[in-house]
Amino acid sequence: FRNFDAIYTTRPIDHGSEFFPLHPAAMDFSTLEYEIDGETYTLDDHLESLFVAGILVAKGDQILLERYRLGHDEESRWVSYSIAKSVTSMLIGAAIQDGYIESVDEQVTAYLPRLKGTAYEGTTIRNLLQMASGVGWNEDYTDAESDVGMAGAANGMVLVDYLAGLGREANPGLVFNYNTGETNLVGSLLRAAIGNNASSYLEAKIWQPFMEHPATWSITENVELGGCCIHATLRDYARIGLFTLSDGVHPNGTRILPEDWMRDSTTPSGAYPGYGYLWWLREGGAYAGIGIFGQLIWVHPKDQVVIVTHSAWPAATGSEFSAQRWALVDALHAHVAGAD
């Protein structure tokens, strides 16, 4: 988790001389508790049982809670896993703002002609962002022969070639099917559209204006994994959430994302009400970037609250872990909101 980018091939993302300031404003969380199935848990219980290496709660530019464990600290990076999907979504928005892409309703094949004549014919960028291409895909992390296992291992094939061989199971826009392969495809589409790599684009559009520390992004076939593996500090993950609350506007007034991009990104799709443009949608207008093994950026626009976790769950996913995470998020949000 902390050394992921020391093992795998990455591309650097540099920070600028200025960054979005975060001011410590410690709040007392010693009385915070939540219940699951009649059992009461404290914040410390949660951090211990779910192997949380870092947790941060921010409201506006104030850090209300910041804790590090397991050898993690404020300058060490942690792998995002699928939180990168949400960042890739924002970069598509930036490419639209910059005129590289006309709209999310453009055909995928306009940028990736290799996919002409495949099941992706007729699929739009919006379909990919909403995980609703209709192309068959199996995302079973426990099965080495699932699509995510085969494509993740490359199987001796370029990713686009692997996806080109898949069949259609539904019409575009109708059925939600979680698909990391297609978000990596979005990364390839972004590169084709902007004529540059995604790390450099992220650096220019978001990292240099907002972030405090350098980051890295995993690459394969010299292309960033649009669906995985940015490596950044806990505070800079929080700044990603805070950037979304600005609707993609730099503090100096420069617009980086199209107007209302985050509103559109967090509007339920017709295929699945719990998903937008590579963002998970939660109760009360909240939305989240989520990665396996307990990575989280949770954003509540109305209350301007951001909650971030770096974790090392014992398993990639699990209903018990997930239930504890959301119970803690709800308790933290209520605690912060109740202090106003």
The answer to whether 239 and 86 have CB atoms below 8 angstroms apart is: no
Positive/negative CA dihedral, 123, 125, 126, 127: positive
The answer to whether 241 and 298 have CB atoms below 8 angstroms apart is: yes
Question: What pLDDT, on a 0 to 100 scale, did the predictor assign at position 305?
Answer: 98
**Residues counted in the chain:** 340
Domain 4-83+198-338 is of which CATH architecture?
3-Layer(aba) Sandwich (3.40)
| Angle between helix 234-245 and 83-97 (nearest 10) | 40
Question: What pLDDT, on a 0 to 100 scale, did the predictor assign at position 340?
Answer: 65
**For residue 1, what are the CA distances in angstroms to 15, 47, 289, 328, 332?**
21, 16, 17, 22, 24
C-alpha 123/C-alpha 105 separation (Å) is 9
Q: Is domain 101-194 given the CATH code 3.30.70.120 in the classification?
A: no
At 129-151, the pLDDT tens digits run 999 999 999 887 777 778 877 77
C-alpha 333/C-alpha 304 separation (Å) is 10
* Lookup: tokens for 337: 């909101």
The pLDDT of residue 156 is above 50: no
At 15-28, the pLDDT tens digits run 998 899 999 998 99
Question: What pLDDT, on a 0 to 100 scale, did the predictor assign at position 154?
Answer: 47
The pLDDT of residue 250 is above 80: yes
4-83+198-338 against 101-194: fold identical: no
Residue 94: name the closest of 202, 212, 232 by CA: 202
Q: Where are the domains of the chain?
A: 4-83+198-338, 101-194
Question: What pLDDT, on a 0 to 100 scale, did the predictor assign at position 251?
Answer: 84
**For residue 79, what are the CA distances in angstroms to 1, 232, 252?**
5, 7, 30
At 258-306, the pLDDT tens digits run 999 999 999 999 899 999 999 999 999 999 999 999 999 999 999 999 9
Question: What pLDDT, on a 0 to 100 scale, did the predictor assign at position 155?
Answer: 41
Long-range contacts at 279-282 (CB < 8 A, ≥ 24 apart): 279/86, 279/89
